[in-house]
Structure 1
């Protein structure tokens, strides 16, 4: 088994890359397609590079879902979550330093004007549900035929999810993607949306997948 420092390094770098490239694309003025592609490519590359080391979660919601189904030990899950949050936090502060006063919100996910908080929670939950279902099918389920290239479909579903949810909630699907920019910018409004939404969506997906698809023991 790969040692803990290597696994934590992989989770740190992968989450760092997601926030740096994803939030950075917003600060650079990219349109929604460019923003979606930046996030999707960041995850595609990170999963391809590091999944064999740490599993390639880069997302506390995914880690919690795997822990809830006993696929990861409690201490490992806690270490992963702390590392993911720190990776996103460092990336956000680097963006804040690089862009200066222009980066007041540092790419933090926010609700669009007509979207109510509960609708925002539902949107984040649905987007993360789809993401977690893909992760289960291509990366977790040993019967999946595409596990060696799992980064591609995971990156694609993130891209599609952001095209759908980005204009409404920012399309975080990941508490670490929200946490770093939110702390760096001090923008903590409706914080529970980007924490609870992804966690509930990931939990719903993993339990539904296991309930319907996981082989039953004789």
Structure 2
């Protein structure tokens, strides 16, 4: 039995692990099936997966599942600094565990080809362009979080508005930056694939977008 004081951290850990397993896993399986899932299938896996996970964890931890969301809520004085820091640690550890499980369970050749499902910049996208694209995508996502889950006047639709925002963002930006919008989503697969190239894009961009929305 998990002590009540640790349940929010456990929810963020498990929720982020599941999200990375499903999201990165969809990228790996798209590689394994020679693109049979396609961009829409990968976007659906991320959006629907997150919608369900946020709905599962919302009443326990608030359903952040994303260091950028936690940062925005901290900036908006919705969570205190200690809680925010502990959430981010739980999310990052969960992301590594989720990516490690995905690497251990899915076809290894596809995991290697897809770099464990880590986001990557398109050849035509520069480092700075990647940051601004991620910032814009994350601004939309975090605005959806505030508009559908945080505001007292928000419609009570659980995580589905948030998941829909991720789906739309992934359709728009997936082919450009991987549309991570979430430092943990990029960090876990990068750690298990031992490839941290360009990680700053998926930290700076989402945190900038989250700060603007928060």
- Report the Cα offset of residue 3 of structure 1: 3.0
User: Is 1:139 matched with 2:146?
Assistant: no
Question: Where does residue 215 of structure 1 map in the other structure?
Answer: none
Could you say which residue in structure 2 is the equivalent of 1:56? 63
**Pair 1:108-2:115 in alignment:** no
Deviation at 1:23, TM superposition (A): 0.6
Farther-moved stretch of structure 1 (122-131 vs 41-50): 41-50
* Root mean square deviation, CA, Å: 1.2
Query: What is residue 191 of structure 2 aligned with on the other side?
Result: 183
- Cα deviation digits, residues 126-183 of structure 1 (max 9, x gap): 0000001111111111112x1x313111110100000001000001000000000001
TM-score (normalised: structure 1): 0.90
Partner Cα separation in structure 2 for residue 182 and residue 33 of structure 1: 23
| Contact map agreement 2:29 2:110 (CA 8 A) in 1 | no
What residue in structure 1 maps to residue 38 of structure 2?
31
Does structure 1 residue 3 correspond to structure 2 residue 13? no
1:85 is aligned to 2:92 = yes
SS at match of 1:106: helix
Query: TM-score, with normalisation over the residues of structure 2?
Result: 0.92
For residues 55-77 of structure 1, what are the alpha-carbon distances to aligned partners after superposition, in whole Å with 9 as ceiling and x for unaligned? Answer: 00000011011112221111111
Is 1:120–2:121 an aligned residue pair? Answer: no
Alignment partner for residue 213 of structure 2, among 195, 205, 208?
Answer: 205
- Could you say which residue in structure 1 is the equivalent of 2:33? none
Unaligned segments of structure 1, at least 5 residues? 207-218
Consecutive aligned runs of 4 or more in structure 1 exceeding 3 Å deviation: none
- Segments of structure 2 that go 5 or more residues without pairing to the other structure are 31-36
Query: How many pairs are equivalent?
Result: 203
Deviates more, 1:58-67 or 1:90-99: 90-99
Counterpart of 2:77 (choices 70, 73, 93) is 70
